[in-house]
Each structure stands twice: as structure tokens, then as C-alpha cells.
A and B are shown apart, each in its own frame.
Chain A
Amino acid sequence: MSVKTRTLVLLTPLVLFLLLAIFLFKGLFSDPTKLDSALIGREVPSFELPDLYQPDVTHNQEIVGGRPMLINVWATWCPTCYAEHTFLNQLLAEEDVYIIGLNYKDDSRGAAVRWLQDLGDPYAINLFDFTGLLALDLGVYGAPETFVVDAEGIIRYRHVGDLNERVWRTEVGPVYYRAMQESGLEIPEHRMELVE
């Protein structure tokens, strides 16, 4: 074996080790709780759920679609949802964003209604998913989660964690407003930059 091949062979483990080290080092900064949704590009699954305020009124998948919207999964036991709530109110007040609220396995109907009365209700429709039936079909594994659904009822995006100005500007807002643009709906002046 010439000296050159010998050096090459001896260096191989070092190179492999360095590659592994880089790979593992990058892994330190990846977030294992961020799972890709398998539902992107699919229709919102069919469901039948009671209204949060009126137990005898039921909603089904026909309330989804017709216009771009958000489906926001929340619960009163979820502290992050509390932090997120102010921003949702702001989305409704300032940008008229259409949000369907999916109350996910809450402690009680009363607690959820009280929460909305105290903090304001940013939701156009409120679904009460006490058993987590629709949430399971949506692949929800925590709260809050937000889905962007287009006018055809197709899921475009799923965000795990709370919505806030940064997330809205960089991730969720652009998807929502692009869907709005496709349906020929108006976009607020100060959010035009998100679709440009």
C-alpha cells in the first residue's frame, strides 16, 4: 500500500466521525415536537359536532370551505391558548380574519363559555369537541394548533403552537392571504406585503 492510500484509509474513520458529529450537532437544534401534518393538501375530514353555546345545534363539514379560514384548536386548560387569545381577537378586529374555534377536550362546556365571555370571542363558529373526535381526525396532538383552510375546504397549512405577530407575518399569514387572493377577496392594506 502506498503512503497516500494508507493515509486515505486511516483518515476515513475521522471523516465519518466528523460527518456524524455535524449531523448530531444539527439535531440539537431541531424541534422534535414539530411534526409534519399528513393532512396538507387534503380535505378537512367530515365531522358532526355540537355548537359550544347551544348543545342542541350541530355543525358538520359544510361549515368549512366557501372562503379561506383558520381552524384554531384551543382549550381552557391550555396556558399557551391564553397567551394566544389576545392575538386572535386582534386578528378579528383589525383584519377581519375568519376563524372557526375548535374547543378541544375542555374540562367543561361552562368553563369554555366563561373563557370566551371574559376574554372575547374571536371565532365565527364555535365547535365543542369534548371527546377529541374531530381533533383526532385532524391529527391534533396538543393545543393550540391552527389550520389554514382554503375556499375549497383543503387544508393548506398547519401550525403547532401559538399564533402571534411573528408567526402570522412569517408563516401562517402569507398562506391565508394567498388563499384570500386566489378567491378574489380583499386583503387589508397593511398585510398586502405578505402576498407580494
Chain B
Amino acid sequence: MSSRFVTTLLAVSIFSFMLGMNAWADNEFYEFETAAQERQFNTLAGELRCPKCQNQTIADSDAPLAQDMRERVYQMIMEGKSNAEIIDFMKVRYGDFVHYRPPINKSTLILWLAPLAVIIIGALAVWFNVRHQRSASAELTPEEEARMDEMFAKTDKAEERDK
């Protein structure tokens, strides 16, 4: 295989990969009046979940439903709707599930509090352990003290021998 052939092959495959990445940008082209609108569109498309594909945002997904939702988001942005209004619009139709940031309510409270609880429990455990070790080392029983003296005496002797 000539090196030129390999280079061409590589270029073609990289190029086709890039085409794939822009799959939905090809047949859908949204024109915005301001850069702020475009930013708003990109933010929302990255925050709304495609209910059909479930683990993809509507920016990620090429499902027909995601296309429809992008189209609707685009229309509402052009009408001057705010982020909150557009997210609410989608929530009324598809439930809280459609937004990648879950709201704080009864069923999601555990999601928000569990990490905090884990940190607090962990910190308490560390604190408790450290305190326990300190208090334990502070008090030596007479036998322990005698053993320690013995050990010190032994090492002292050993050191003197080495000199």
C-alpha cells in the first residue's frame, strides 16, 4: 500500500466522521437574529432530554421527535420566550423528566440530599476515629508503660553497641 493511498484513506475517513458529527446540522439550519438567541438555543438543546431516546439531549439525538422539539424550541426563541417559559412548556407535555436538571421536590429530595449526607457521615466517622485514637494513645496502663520502658532500654543498648 503506498503511503499516499493510506493518507487519502485516512483523510476520507476523518472527513466522513466529521460529516457524521454534523448529521443534524446538515438538514436543519437555524438562522438567529442575535448571538444571544443562538446561545439560548444551544443551552436549551443541551438541557432538554429527548423522551424517545432517554439518555440523549435533543441536541444529541437524531430521532424525529428530537427534531420536532428543536424546531419548537427554535420557534419559541424567535417569539422571544425566556428559558424558563420554554422549559415549562416542555415539562407540561413530557413531565419533569424532559429537563436534565431535576427540580427539588418530594421524589427527588433524596438525589439532592444523599451526597450531602454521605459527606457529613464520612466527616463524622473520620472525626470520631481520630478523637478515639488520640484519647486511646494518651492513656497508657502501668503494664504498657513498663513494656515501653523495656523497649526503650533495649534500643538504647543496641545503639550503644553499634557505636
Q: Which residue numbers of A lie inside 8 Å of B, CB to CB?
A: 1, 32-33, 35-39, 42, 105, 131-132, 136-139, 141-142
Contact = CB atoms under 8 A, between A and B. Distances in A.
Contacts of A131: 68
A38 B91 contact: yes
Contact of A139 (B64, B72, B93, B96): B93
B54 A136 contact: no
Interface of B: 51-52, 54, 64-65, 68-69, 72, 91-97, 132
Contact of B95 (A32, A33, A36): A36
B105 to A, nearest CB: 13
11 contacts: A35-B51, A36-B95, A38-B96, A105-B64, A132-B64, A132-B65, A136-B65, A136-B68, A136-B72, A137-B93, A138-B93
Contact of B93 (A33, A105, A136, A142): A136
A37 B95 contact: yes
Given A132-B64, A142-B52, A35 B95 contact: yes
A32 B91 CA distance: 17
A141 B132 contact: no
Nearest to A131: B68
B10 to A, nearest CB: 38
